Amino acid sequence: MPKKRRGLVLAAPASDSGKTLVSLGLGAALAARGEAVQYFKCGPDFIDPTLHQLVSGRVSRNLDLAMCGDAFVRQTFARHSTADFVIVEGVMGLFDGGAASTAALARALQLPVLLVVDGSACAESSAALVHGFESFDPALAVSGVIFNRVGSAGHYRLLKESVEAHCRATVVGGIPRHEDFLVPGRHLGLHMGQDGVLFPERLRRIGALVASHLDFARLRAAAALLSDPPGLEAAEDESSIPSRVRIGVARDAAFCFYYEDNLDLLRAAGAELVFFSPLADSRLPPDLAGLYLGGGYPELHGATLAANRSLREQIRSRAAAGLPVYGECGGFIYLCEAVRTADGAEYPMAGVFPVRARMRERLVRLGYCRARVGANTLWPAGLELAGHEFHYSETEPMPASIPRAYILDDGREEGYCLHNTLAGYLHLHLGATPEAARHFVEFCRGHARKGEGRG
Q: Which residues are catalytic?
A: 329
Residue 203 is classified by DSSP as: H
| 3-state SS assignment for residue 93 | coil
Q: Give me the long-range contacts of 68-73 (CB less than 8 A, separation at least 24).
A: 68/261, 68/386, 68/429, 68/431, 68/432, 69/431, 69/432, 70/108, 72/431, 72/432, 73/105, 73/108, 73/109, 73/431
Contacts of 46 (CB under 8 A, 6+ apart): 256, 257, 258, 259, 295, 427
* Side-by-side strand order, sheet with 346-348: 346-348, 336-340, 353-359, 393-395
Rounded-to-integer distance, Cα 207 and Cα 32, Å: 8
* Residue 47 φ then ψ, to 5°: -80, -50
CA angle 375, 380, 381 (to 5 degrees): 35
CB-based contact 146:172 (threshold 8 Å): yes
Is residue 345 classed as helix, strand or coil in its secondary structure?
Answer: coil
> What is the Cα 217 distance to its own chain's centre?
31
